């Protein structure tokens, strides 16, 4: 059940909206701009995650801060029992602050194999080092409409030695706003493993972007994880010093 989403691609998605000009025609240029945007960007978001399974459902609210691609902090705000739990990512290390125990734990590899909080996201994905630009070959393979918007269909093929588990990734990127509306990830056999799709496009933080997305594993009927952004701030004025272990405890 531990499926790897492209959570890096999720971040990408959030920040792709920063790409404003429309002169980029090639796939590479699309993604280059996106990566560029990501590197210098910062973000504060409030979101709600819903985990849906055939026999149960769970909801979680959290607030997150991100600086570039290497710094991120997340605190759970609901439900009450888990509220106050903080996750910190610096480069490739992850820490966890547990208020009930009043302890900071650094996550060892063994724990990272588990899914993040029971979602379809994996902890390990937070630390795996891979770059959409560097590790893939990109090509635009077509045009398609998604949610009524014309999109470029970009196919990404990972380089043989890249530390990427996918055999192939397909992205639908909106031509107007450069929104990543859908991502399909395939294994090396060419089978679809998971789909990241947009449920709703809206305006938050002064930008138009997908405000609700969901990750759906291909082989597990009734499983999905939904993410909905309640608030977004694209200039929260963060600095490196915010992303520290001691800061975790003060949140």
Partner 1 sequence: MNALWWTLAWRNLWRNKRRTVITAGSAFFAVFFAVVMQSVTYGVFGKMIEDMARLSTGHVQVQDSLYLAEPTPDHSLELDAARLLEAQKIDGAMAVMPRLEAIVLASSGDRSTPVQVIGIEPAAEDSVNRFTERIRTGGQYFGEPRADLPEAVVGAALGDQLGLSPGDTLFTIGQGYHGVPAYGRFRVAGLLELGNPELSKRLVYVQLADAQHAFRMEGRVTGVVCMADPAADLEDVQAELAALFPNQAARLWSDLMPDLEQTLEGKLAGNYIILFILYLIIGFGLFSTVLMMMSERQKEFGILISVGTGRRTLAAMVYLEVALLGLLGVGLGSLAVWPFLEYFDANPVQLRGDLRELHEQYGLEPILPVMIEPFIFFNQAAVVLGMALTVGLYPLRVLKRLDILKASRS
Partner 2 sequence: MMLLSIAYRNIWRNPVRSLVVIGSMVLGIWGGTFIVGFFSGMTQQQLEDMLRQEVSHVQIHGQGFLDQFDPTDTLQATGALTAALALDERVESFSARLVGVGLIASARLTTGGMVVGIDADAESAVTQLGDRVVEGALFATDRPNQVVIGTRLAERLHVGVKNKIVVTLPNREGEMVSTALRVAGIYRERAAAKAGARIYMPARDLAGLMGVGAARHEVAVFARDLSVVQGLAADYAGQFGGDLVRPWNAISPELRLISESYDQYVLIIIAIILLALLFGIVNTMLMAVLERTRELGVLMAVGLTRVKVFWMILLETVMIGSIGGPLGLLVAWGTIEWTGVNGIDLSRYAESLEAYGLSAHVYPTLDTGGYVEILIMVVAASLIAALFPALHAIRLKPMDAIRSQ
**Minimum separation from the CB atom of position 165 to partner 2 (A):** 5
Asked if 103 is part of the footprint of partner 2 (rule: CB under 8 A), the reply reads no
Applying CB under 8 A, among 32, 35, 187, 233 the residue interacting with partner 2 is 187
Ramachandran region of residue 94, left (φ > 0), alpha (ψ -120 to 50) or beta? beta
- In the three-class reduction of DSSP (H, G, I as helix; E, B as strand; rest coil), residue 74 is classed as strand
Applying CB under 8 A, among 186, 233, 234, 251 the residue interacting with partner 2 is 186
Residue 207 binding partner per list partner 2, partner 1, none, with a CB distance cut-off of 5 to 8 Å that depends on partner kind:
none
Kindly indicate which of the ranges 17-25, 74-82, 117-125, 143-151 contains the residues binding partner 2, using the contact rule CB under 8 A. Answer: 117-125
**Minimum separation from the CB atom of position 236 to partner 2 (A):** 27
Neighbour count for residue 239 (Cβ, 10 Å): 9
Q: Closest Cα partner for 85 from 69, 101, 107?
A: 101
Of the pair 39, 92, the CB lying nearest partner 2 is at 92
Q: Which tokens go with 178?
A: 């450069």
Distance CA 142, CA 116 (A): 34
Distance CA 192, CA 32 (A): 26
Contacts with partner 1, residue ranges (CB under 8 A): 51, 53, 56, 58, 82, 85, 96, 98, 100-101, 103, 105-106, 108, 110-111, 114-115, 117-119
* Main-chain dihedrals φ then ψ at residue 127, nearest 5 degrees: -110, -10
Peptide bond preceding 38: is omega within 30 degrees of 0, i.e. cis?
no
Residue 95 binding partner per list partner 2, partner 1, none, with a CB distance cut-off of 5 to 8 Å that depends on partner kind:
none
* Main-chain dihedrals φ then ψ at residue 159, nearest 5 degrees: -70, 150
Q: Which tokens go with 226?
A: 């939904």
Asked if 91 is part of the footprint of partner 2 (rule: CB under 8 A), the reply reads yes
**Minimum separation from the CB atom of position 194 to partner 2 (A):** 8
Binding site residues, partner 2, CB under 8 A: 2-4, 91-93, 109-110, 112-113, 122, 124-125, 127-130, 160-167, 185-189, 193, 219
């Amino acid at each position: 059940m531990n499926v790897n989403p492209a959570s890096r691609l999720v971040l990408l998605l959030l920040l792709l909206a920063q790409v404003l000009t429309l002169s980029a025609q090639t796939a590479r240029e699309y993604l280059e701009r996106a990566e560029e945007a990501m590197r210098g960007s910062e973000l504060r978001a409030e979101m709600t995650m819903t985990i849906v399974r055939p026999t149960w459902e769970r909801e979680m609210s959290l607030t997150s801060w991100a600086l570039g691609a290497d710094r991120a902090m997340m605190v759970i705000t609901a439900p009450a029992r888990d509220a106050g739990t903080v996750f910190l990512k610096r480069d490739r290390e992850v820490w966890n602050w547990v208020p009930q125990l009043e302890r900071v734990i650094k996550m060892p590899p063994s724990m990272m194999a588990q899914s993040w909080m029971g979602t379809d996201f994996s902890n390990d994905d937070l630390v795996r080092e891979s770059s959409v630009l560097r590790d893939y070959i990109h090509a635009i393979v077509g045009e398609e409409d998604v949610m009524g918007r014309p999109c470029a269909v970009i196919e990404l093929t990972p380089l043989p030695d890249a530390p990427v588990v996918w055999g192939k990734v397909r992205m639908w990127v909106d031509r107007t706003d450069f929104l990543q509306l859908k991502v399909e990830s395939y294994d090396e056999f060419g089978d679809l493993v998971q789909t990241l799709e947009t449920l709703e496009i809206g305006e938050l933080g002064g930008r138009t972007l997908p405000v609700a997305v969901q990750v759906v594993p291909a082989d597990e009927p009734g499983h999905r994880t939904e993410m909905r952004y309640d608030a977004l701030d694209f200039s929260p004025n963060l600095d490196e010093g915010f992303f520290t272990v001691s800061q975790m405890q003060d949140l």
